[in-house]
Amino acid sequence: MNKIILASASPRRREILEKAGVNFTVIPASGEEKISTSHPEQAVQQLSSGKARSVARSLDDSIHDVLVIGADTVVSYAGRILGKPRDEEDAVNTLESLQGNTHQVYTGVTVMERKDGAFREHTFYEVTDVTFYPVSHEEILEYVKTKEPVDKAGSYAIQGLFGIYVKEIRGDYNNVVGLPVSRLFYEMKKLGIKLRG
């Protein structure tokens, strides 16, 4: 059985992995990663890879049989990547553009697998379509006042108070929350790697 490390400070990713029955340790990646692309599927994979590599490099050589999992999530609408909001006005504008429409949530996942001293990298991404009901300006202002958008890509949390405006999704729900855990299990299974007992 491998030692599993989640290279993310996100409490939401932690909760998803815990609920899936995985035993792991958290070592958040430090430093801001830079992206050199405007394509969301490439961006999230660059970012997840950067996080997982940075934590993998920092590990003591004595730790064998380890998996380091990095992930990064962005929201994309009409060809533009929407990150975390700069301020309340930015959050309001973002939500005004998303309401009544369908946007995409991309999460990149990288697993750095150390075996016999060397690391192997496995990276993939998952995309989910999210469609909102129409949401009024007053409802958006009310939501932004709760401060929930502050640290959320796309300025909302599907598992939070804005979840009541989500009409439907197409794809993996956990991918929207921040970690496509089913796909992660599926990819690891193909490689013969077990994530739980």
Amino acid, res. 187: E
- What is the Cα–Cα distance from 104 to 102, expressed in whole angstroms? 7
- Which residues in the 18-57 window bind a copy of itself by CB under 8 A? 19-21
Question: Which positions are catalytic?
Answer: 72
Q: Which of 33, 42, 159, 193 binds a copy of itself (CB under 8 A)?
A: 159
In whole angstroms, the minimum distance from the beta carbon of 155 to a copy of itself comes to 18
In what helix (H) or strand (E) does residue 178 lie, and over which residues does it extend? none
Question: Does residue 191 bind a copy of itself (CB under 8 A)?
Answer: no
In whole angstroms, the minimum distance from the beta carbon of 180 to a copy of itself comes to 10
How many angstroms separate the Cα of 50 from the Cα of each of 9, 12, 145? 14, 20, 33
- What is the Cα–Cα distance from 20 to 5, expressed in whole angstroms? 15
Q: Give the pair of three-digit tokens for residue 100.
A: 């009544």
Q: Which of 115, 168, 191, 194 binds a copy of itself (CB under 8 A)?
A: 168
Q: Which of 27, 59, 166, 193 binds a copy of itself (CB under 8 A)?
A: 166
Question: Does residue 145 bind a copy of itself (CB under 8 A)?
Answer: no
Helix 88-98 / helix 137-145 crossing angle, nearest 10 deg: 140
Q: Which residues of the chain form contacts with a copy of itself (CB under 8 A)?
A: 19-21, 128, 133, 158-161, 163-174, 181-183, 185-186
